[in-house]
């Protein structure tokens, strides 16, 4: 009679352990679906593999396509609705922050050293490094990146992590605000206290999402970004 109970306990324990492991290590296959987790109430720069860039708001994301309302340089024109094949999308960004990358690039990881002063001030910048042996490091500044390794501060000690031991590197980015929310934080002055987004940022309660920048199992592309407006 005790055996079923023991089996149920073991099943729950195994399930709990699996969920914990999944939570600790982001799934590279989910990187595209980050585009459905970020707000669609703001403009993003969409860069295609031919290095052309457009600015627009995302309207739909499927397994194979991204649809956006794209704004022409002439502001009087209504936006055009364009659909981009997933295979053609190289990056989706706001400024220097990459929310989706369609390539595996160690140079993109290295460029994270050039984060904005605002990110440093509010402590938003952090990385998630998944090792080939299954270990996961959550890294905050200071850290350095070379062509061969990371130098991290772990428990107050400087530790080198070789690139050859790394499976994936994610930039654990803050979910972007809507354009109105960003405007409120920057422009409303004392009235910003009436905007609920202000409390989220002030108390550092922002949600983070993992943006995959480097995957050792994929071909590496370190070519420089040369974004050209369409």
* DSSP, res 154: E
Residue 201 exposed, middle or buried by CB count within 10 Å (0-12, 13-18, 19+): middle
Q: What is the pLDDT of residues 27-84, one digit of tens each?
A: 666 799 999 988 888 899 999 999 899 999 999 999 999 999 998 766 667 888 999 9
Longest Cα–Cα distance in the chain: 76
Q: What is the pLDDT of residue 134?
A: 93
Q: What is the pLDDT of residue 199?
A: 53
Give which of 171, 169, 176, 170 is closest to 206, Cα–Cα.
Answer: 176
Distance CA 91, CA 36 (A): 15
How far apart are alpha carbons 14 and 171 in whole angstroms? 29
Measure the CA–CA gap between 90 and 185, rounded to whole angstroms.
30
- pTM comes to 0.74
User: Does the structure show a pLDDT above 60 at 116?
Assistant: no
- Residues with Cβ within 8 Å of residue 87, at least 6 apart in sequence: 49, 102
Side-by-side strand order, sheet with 149-154: 144-145, 149-154, 157-162
User: How far is 20 from 101, CA to CA, in rounded Å?
Assistant: 26
Interval 162-201: pLDDT, tens: 999 999 999 988 877 665 555 555 555 555 555 555 555 5
Tell me what pLDDT residue 152 has. Answer: 84
Domain ranges of the chain: 25-229
Question: Is 29 strand, coil or helix?
Answer: helix
Q: What is the mean pLDDT of residues 113-126?
A: 49
């Amino acid at each position: 009679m005790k055996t079923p109970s023991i089996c149920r306990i073991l099943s729950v324990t195994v399930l709990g352990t699996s969920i914990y492991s999944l939570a600790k290590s982001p799934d590279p296959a989910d990187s595209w679906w980050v585009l459905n987790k970020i707000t669609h109430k703001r403009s993003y720069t969409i860069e295609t593999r031919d290095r052309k860039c457009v600015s627009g708001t995302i309207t739909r994301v499927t397994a194979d396509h991204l649809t956006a309302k794209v704004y022409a340089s002439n502001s009087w024109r209504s936006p055009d609705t364009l659909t981009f094949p997933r295979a053609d999308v190289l990056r989706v960004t706001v400024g220097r922050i990459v929310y989706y990358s369609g390539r595996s690039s160690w140079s993109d990881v290295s460029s994270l050293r050039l984060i904005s002063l605002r990110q440093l001030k509010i402590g938003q910048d952090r990385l998630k490094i998944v090792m080939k042996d299954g270990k996961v490091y959550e890294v905050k500044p200071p850290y350095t990146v070379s062509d061969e390794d990371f130098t991290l501060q772990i428990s107050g000690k400087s530790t080198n992590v070789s690139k050859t031991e790394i499976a994936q590197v994610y930039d654990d980015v803050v979910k972007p605000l809507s354009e109105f929310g960003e405007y409120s934080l920057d422009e409303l002055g004392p009235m910003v206290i009436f905007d609920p987004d202000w409390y989220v940022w002030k108390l550092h309660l922002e949600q983070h999402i993992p943006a995959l920048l480097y995957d050792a199992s994929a071909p590496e592309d370190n070519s420089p970004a040369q974004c050209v407006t369409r």
